[in-house]
Structure 1
Amino acid sequence: MTEAIRWTIKVSQDTDRALRGFLGAQGMKKGDLSKFVEDAVRWRMLDRTVQVVKDRNQDIAPDLLEAMIDEATREVRAEMRRQGQ
């Protein structure tokens, strides 16, 4: 973590106890709560992004979608090779 920003958040007492119990059982310390929250936020953002992409592409035929992914992958790999030279 580079420069930390302080958040003030509220959670229920049940969530607080459950999370602190979980972290304690994992051998984590007090400062690990911030790391856990940051990791959870990142995972949730990724999950929502994936869901948006799935929803957006649900009407595309699987074969066409796979071809589009393959083409994009080829383009990215070619660009990476050019940059590596």
Structure 2
Amino acid sequence: MTEAIRWTITVTPETDLSLRGFLGAQGMKKGDLSKFVEDAVRWRMLDRTVQVVKERNQDISPEMLEAMIDDAMREVRAERRKQASAA
């Protein structure tokens, strides 16, 4: 496992109390705060990425988008089959 990186973050006292109360109610311990923050950051990054992709594709018809996805899936599957048969 890779070494953890230490962050210094600042939150309001209300956020601190709310989060610690929430974690405590979930039976989580002090060390679980880092896990919670990391999970929240990952979810937020995913959410932002999804929003960017949605905005980028808003002018593409659903049919065209579906065809593009189908083409990409066929390419990936063909590549995986080729890799599997080479192994």
TM-score range, shorter chain: over 0.9
What does residue 76 of structure 1 align with?
76
Structure 1: which 5+ residue stretches go unaligned?
none
What is the deviation of 1:74?
Answer: 1.1
Q: In 1, Cα distance between the equivalents of 2:83 and 2:17?
A: 50
Per-residue CA deviation, residues 53-82 of structure 1 (Å, 9 max, x unaligned), is 000000001100000001101111111122
What residue identity is the alignment partner of 2:29?
K
Structure 1 segment 3-82 matched on structure 2, within 5 A: 3-82=3-82
Residue aligned with 1:6, SS:
coil
Q: In 1, Cα distance between the equivalents of 2:10 and 2:59?
A: 39
Residue aligned with 2:49, SS:
helix
Stretches of 4+ moved more than 4 A in 1? none
Q: What percent of counterpart residues are identical?
A: 81
